[in-house]
Homo-oligomer: A and B are copies of this chain.
């Protein structure tokens, strides 16, 4: 019937499929973090949901954007929690799949960022807040995971993670403001962010660190 849709899917459909892939992958990497802390199966389920859906939830609470995505689409709780549980069964093979997981995690970072920017643009928020909305969506799930695992968030020390989110957001918002075609803006911003993240992982790039050893008191 709609051949055009088959041969050339709508970009937002592609984005949605990437989103579902990304929350699945984020939940699975969170399950591994839970396993490192010897959490029980319920803990694995919950940490999977919080990590995969927490970034968007923090964004929505902070922007007053109700209902939250998993309240409107409760099946997201089944997808992410189910993926986390499934990870227990395949844990012995996961180590061999780690490059795939790191790739999917990078995809998640840029997909979440773009979705976060879109939400803020839809609320007519100023430029800087749009970028922050993308960052919160892309990065806060991992921060919540690390806080619940009692670690200093990796985000504050890791390989260009937040920087990738900022770059992706700037390219996406800049392209939108310049009136470029949506497909092009989406593809360019996400590809550039993904490339930077993968290069940073490959070559161990990181932002300079600030090291301070005095106490203020």
Residues of A within 8 A of B (CB): 29, 31-32, 34-44, 46-47, 57, 61-64, 66-68, 70-71, 74-75, 77-78, 88, 91, 94-95, 98, 101-102, 125-129, 132, 143, 147-153, 155-158, 162-163, 166, 206-217
Contacts and interface: CB of A to CB of B under 8 A. Distances in A.
Dominant SS among interface residues on chain A: helix
Nearest to A214: B95
A35 to B, nearest CB: 3
A34 B162 CA distance: 16
B147 A209 contact: no
A74 B44 contact: no
A100 to B, nearest CB: 11
A44 B129 contact: no
Contacts of A61: 61-62
A210 B150 contact: no
A61 B206 CA distance: 33
A216 B129 contact: no
Given A35-B212, A40-B207, A125-B71, A47 B149 contact: no
8 closest A-B pairs (Cβ-Cβ)? A35-B212, A43-B156, A40-B207, A74-B128, A64-B66, A39-B156, A35-B210, A42-B162
B210 A38 contact: yes
A216 B71 contact: no
30 contacts: A31-B210, A32-B212, A35-B210, A35-B213, A36-B213, A36-B215, A37-B156, A37-B157, A38-B209, A38-B210, A39-B157, A39-B209, A40-B209, A41-B210, A42-B156, A42-B166, A43-B162, A64-B67, A70-B129, A71-B125, A74-B127, A74-B132, A77-B128, A88-B210, A91-B212, A147-B147, A147-B148, A148-B152, A148-B153, A148-B156
